A and B are shown apart, each in its own frame.
Chain A
């Protein structure tokens, strides 16, 4: 079904009919309407004098697209004006409306420059015409160089400040705490240990005589209490929490037994003595 148009296209492409422009011409006029410059455009070689536009000037471009062989006006499918800045590599594409008869008119008013005009740099814009048609071979014509007034600087986007790397974050930590000098540590150690001398001195005077301390009923209790304290020291030095809790649980059972025995014995002796 659709193979027929495709074949037709291929045949047309094979013919490679050629388009050309008739009477291409540009006119520069000032805002008051007075004509400043009006020249035909040579298709063979681009104009050596660039076209200069000032702030309020209007550039008019007129041409007719024709079939080179028959000389009839042709409406191509695509017609573009390309503004290319060689320095910045920026380009702008401006579509141009072409009538059925192939006539086209383009107006560039610098008072209201089109969005397709690239931002200016040092180099003039190279203006070329690109014409594409399904039944003709494509056409690219470089027309002239164009010097336009400098574009405004790009306004800063309101969020522009957010798109820069932030200054590097430096964390400040509290300085490492230090131990005091050794003499002070030694003095403090003596001061903290001095109460032991007081304790031992006082106990030496007032210690009650513990006559039954080593009796078989009481000594196991003292022993298990001592074992508890050693277990806790061992915990400090080496053991893990779980080990301490399990060993302590076993030791607690023994201690409850020995403690009950020892304390009931002491209680009996106290009550019996009374």
Chain B
């Protein structure tokens, strides 16, 4: 707990967390996680552009940013529903049903996003 030993301890914790993640997570989950990371980075980049440079085509910013946020939400819910560890929580939701919901939600989201693009 001493402040001197805290940086190595912190890096240790992060390292073991990363190791546990890469060992125990299936490739399918990692595939979805990669997509989530991509959505987050893309959203952050667009938001920074809007704040730091300009929001000029504001409808374009809204469309881009809201598509990132919406897709993130949809993908996160897909991930939680298809994760085998959550099987007991989503007993009546099969992974196929979850994917159908994801596909439907994505199409509706993209419809609105293209509407906003103008």
Contacts and interface: CB of A to CB of B under 8 A. Distances in A.
Given A192-B46, A203-B31, A229-B110, A198 B37 contact: yes
Interface string B28-55: 1011001101110110011011000110
A198 B38 contact: yes
Contacts of A208: 27-28, 31
Interface in B48-99: 48-49, 53-54, 56, 64, 94-97, 99
Contact of B56 (A178, A202, A232, A263): A178
Given A180-B53, A191-B49, A259 B103 contact: yes
If over half of B's interface residues share one DSSP class (helix, strand or loop), that class is named, otherwise mixed; here it is helix
A235 B53 contact: no
Interface stretch (A92-100, A151-159, A264-272): A264-272
A44 to B, nearest CB: 92
A225 interface: yes
A42 B6 CA distance: 129
Contacts of A235: 111, 114
B88 to A, nearest CB: 16
A26 B92 CA distance: 122
B107 interface: yes
A228 B107 contact: yes
Contacts of A207: 27, 31
If over half of A's interface residues share one DSSP class (helix, strand or loop), that class is named, otherwise mixed; here it is helix
B9 interface: no
Contacts of A229: 107, 110
Contact of A232 (B100, B103, B111): B111
Contacts of B31: 203, 206-208
Contacts of A264: 96
Interface in A133-188: 177-180, 184, 188
A196 B95 CA distance: 26
B103 A267 contact: no
7 contacts: A194-B45, A205-B30, A208-B28, A235-B114, A259-B103, A263-B97, A263-B99
Interface of A: 177-180, 184, 188, 191-192, 194-196, 198-199, 202-203, 205-208, 225, 228-229, 232-233, 235-236, 244, 248, 259, 263-264, 266-267, 270
